[in-house]
Amino acid sequence: MSTAVNDTDTVVNEQSTTTQKPKILEAQYIVPFLLVASLFPLWGFANDVTNPLVKAFKDIFLISNAQSSLVQFAFYLGYGVMAIPAAIFIRRFSYKSGILLGLFLYALGASLFIPASIYMEFTFFLAALWILTCGLALLETTANPYVLSMGHPDTSTQRLNLAQAFNPIGSLTGMMIASTFILSQLQVEEFRAQEKAANPEYATMLPSEVDGKLTQALADYAVSNPVEHQAMQAADLITVRGPYVAIAVIVALLFFVFLFSKLPKTISHDHPLTAKELKETFARLLQNRCYLEGVVAQAFYVGAQIMCWTFIIHYGMTSVGLTAAEAQSYNMVAMSIFLASRFICTFLLSYIRPGHLLMVLAAGGILLSLGTIFIGGYTGLYCLIATSACMSLMFPTIYGIALKGMGDDASLASAGLVMAIVGGALMPPLQGSMIDGGEILSGIPAVQTSFILPLICFVVICLFGFRAHNKYKI
């Protein structure tokens, strides 16, 4: 009788073992995971210390919104150019080699802000940003699939969401530094404040009208006082370069940490790809509908994210009447919400399928975008801030859905998803052009109506979430 009971217990124990849910992170991967996760704040910092430069360079160089949006074009173009070469490089050498080369290019691009500020050329800054983001493309092409491979495939999306939770820490740091050490220290902002004080009638005007008058006053000052204006430009560009020089030093130190660290091999990624293997891999990827739809959704997501975070400063200044530094503080609130929501969504993924949760949050982004467009003022600004709660889940979840079950193809497949970040290069200049073009809907400022572009992006993401949940059962 006791033997029968023991046999029954054994069967029960075996069943519980086989049905036990796999861990998000196993013990042998904890240290490598934390080391690789330390890279995620780096591109968060770069993204969000750069976003305010769109407005800052517009005033420093006296250029249009469309021209200043070339900051984002140059920044995200690096992803489009470097993603596939990065994936091939990683397969030829190793994940560690990809990380080291990425850190080198990151530090190089950031340090090039020194000669760019000395020569006072906008195009030099664009070139420096492009080189920097070639490094970021290598880091993201390496880190994301590496984290996915550090454990059981069923927990890969949760694991990537956990790693991506470190990203907003860098973003918040970048925003804080941009607000404290760049925007609030710019002499051009002091000029705008003095003009406001000298013209009390501005208090009765719409914020968008005031912004236009201040921009015109700055242009007039450049013509009437060219020497003083050039001195102002030089001082402001030195202010802009400071954080980039600091991050170049930090990234260089991290380069040596990785150089002397051992990282585990999780998949066979270190053998060279032949032309035949490369062709076969691309053929498999082109036949994978879920993957292709994921690449498209990712491009629209990144476009939405960059537009919402870049033009929040314009929105705050033209629809509410805030200063650039005040508007940037709301960007920091948005990022805090993004960070908190990332941890909440990682928890929710234990109970809700990724596609379903992605669809629901994208629908929330649609509703909040409508509020941003049609309500305006502080309420519209709050709607814009709240979209960050919806966006927090999107990048790693789209990534995880698209790469599920890829195996050794993951390094090349991830290149397509990193390449999709080029959406952040294409859409902000389009939004800037809409703002420059003036009112589209009668009575609604152009900055507000320009957020129809993020609205469209959220519709595309919602459709992908719906298909992932219902068609691909993810």
pLDDT value at residue 267:
59
Confidence bin at 280 (pLDDT 50/70/90) = confident
Flag whether pLDDT at 168 surpasses 90: no
What does the pLDDT look like over 175-232, one tens digit per residue? 889 988 998 899 999 999 999 999 988 888 878 788 889 999 999 999 999 999 999 9
Residues 318-339 have a mean pLDDT of 88
Q: Rounded distance, CA 228 to CA 245, Å?
A: 26
Q: What percent of the chain has pLDDT over 90?
A: 46
pLDDT value at residue 272:
57
What does the pLDDT look like over 71-123, one tens digit per residue? 989 998 888 888 888 888 887 788 888 999 999 999 999 999 999 999 999 99
Residues 442-454 have a mean pLDDT of 90
What does the pLDDT look like over 383-392, one tens digit per residue? 999 999 999 9
Query: In the chain, what are the domains?
Result: 25-261 (1.20.1250.20), 272-473 (1.20.1250.20)
Residues 55-70 have a mean pLDDT of 91
pLDDT value at residue 324:
84
What does the pLDDT look like over 257-269, one tens digit per residue? 999 988 887 655 4
Residues 290-317 have a mean pLDDT of 93
Least trusted range by pLDDT, from 53-67, 116-130, 143-157, 455-469: 143-157
